[in-house]
Amino acid sequence: MSALAAERLSDEIMMPVHILVVEDEPKVSDLIHKGLTDEHFQVDIARTGARALAMVDATSYDLLILDVMLPDIDGFDICRAVRSGGHSVPILMLSARSLVEDRVRGLNTGADDYLTKPFDYAELSARIRALLRRAHEPSLIPLVVADLVLEPVTRTVHRRGRRIDLTPKEFALLEYLMRHAGHVVTRPMIAEYVWDFTWDRLTNVIDVFINHLRKKIELPGEPRLVHAVRGAGYVIREPQATD
């Protein structure tokens, strides 16, 4: 089959991606609507939280773009309600506030990503594409960083063929780091995900757990994978020449 024919076929098979935008400010929703429509997404707009919840129950959306500040129900509560209703649709939250606490709160209520207003449409588009890609990847595929392999299905971890026994918390911590491989995760993010606690006095606990984890996955002579990033948090990544 020629490349052109293949492309045409995939266009025919592909269902339109259906996105719900929950935003009461016409200026912002018009911008998003125009951009998404130009990219051939199918777009619905809800101007209130109540309307958004009704639409999510009635339609199977591929993605939600959810503003925090709405006239009735705030975005955090909508997010929580969508999740407790059993919907796993990817959610991107928008907020005029860039506070770390808001970001953590958004992610903790079940949002998948968080974007601060004002934003460039190109940035929004990139985030949407990343979320759609992630949603269509099975979350149970093995995670690999260099020679370290974590298998979510069997909950096992190996490095260079060596089986590594982890406690449930250590496993959750490693899985979280590996799902964000190459990106710094902050201590508040770790606290929320692994301990389901709000970040306050957990700083030492997290550092202790990171040390335990590192002793298990990085034997003497093995390249380091987990790195502390001063003032930010931790990252797991492929070894680099400068390590």
Distances (CA, A) of 123 to 46, 129, 198: 22, 10, 29
Q: Cα-flanking dihedrals φ and ψ of residue 226, to 5°?
A: -95, 130
C-alpha to C-alpha distance for 169 and 206, rounded to whole angstroms = 10
| Nearer to Ca ion among residue 106 and residue 188 (C-beta) | 106
Token readout for 33 is 């609507």
Q: Which residue has the tokens 């619905």?
A: 44
| Nearer to Ca ion among residue 24 and residue 77 (C-beta) | 24
| Nearer to Ca ion among residue 30 and residue 243 (C-beta) | 30
CB of 24 to Ca ion, least distance (A): 5
| Nearer to Ca ion among residue 98 and residue 198 (C-beta) | 98
DSSP 228: E
Find the binder of Ca ion among 17, 18, 24, 187 (CB under 5 A): 24
Residue 159: left (phi > 0), alpha (psi -120 to 50), or beta?
beta
Binding mask 131-160 for Ca ion (x = CB under 5 A): ------------------------------
Candidate ranges 21-29, 149-157, 181-189, 202-210; the one touching Ca ion (CB under 5 A): 21-29
C-alpha to C-alpha distance for 85 and 60, rounded to whole angstroms = 13
CB of 125 to Ca ion, least distance (A): 20
| Nearer to Ca ion among residue 69 and residue 149 (C-beta) | 69
Candidate ranges 24-32, 76-84, 97-105, 180-188; the one touching Ca ion (CB under 5 A): 24-32
Name which of residues 54 to 113 contact Ca ion (CB under 5 A): 67, 69
Size of the residue set binding Ca ion (CB under 5 A): 4
C-alpha to C-alpha distance for 30 and 24, rounded to whole angstroms = 10
Per CB under 5 A, 170 contacts Ca ion: no
C-alpha to C-alpha distance for 178 and 183, rounded to whole angstroms = 9
Residues contributing to the site for Ca ion (CB under 5 A): 24-25, 67, 69
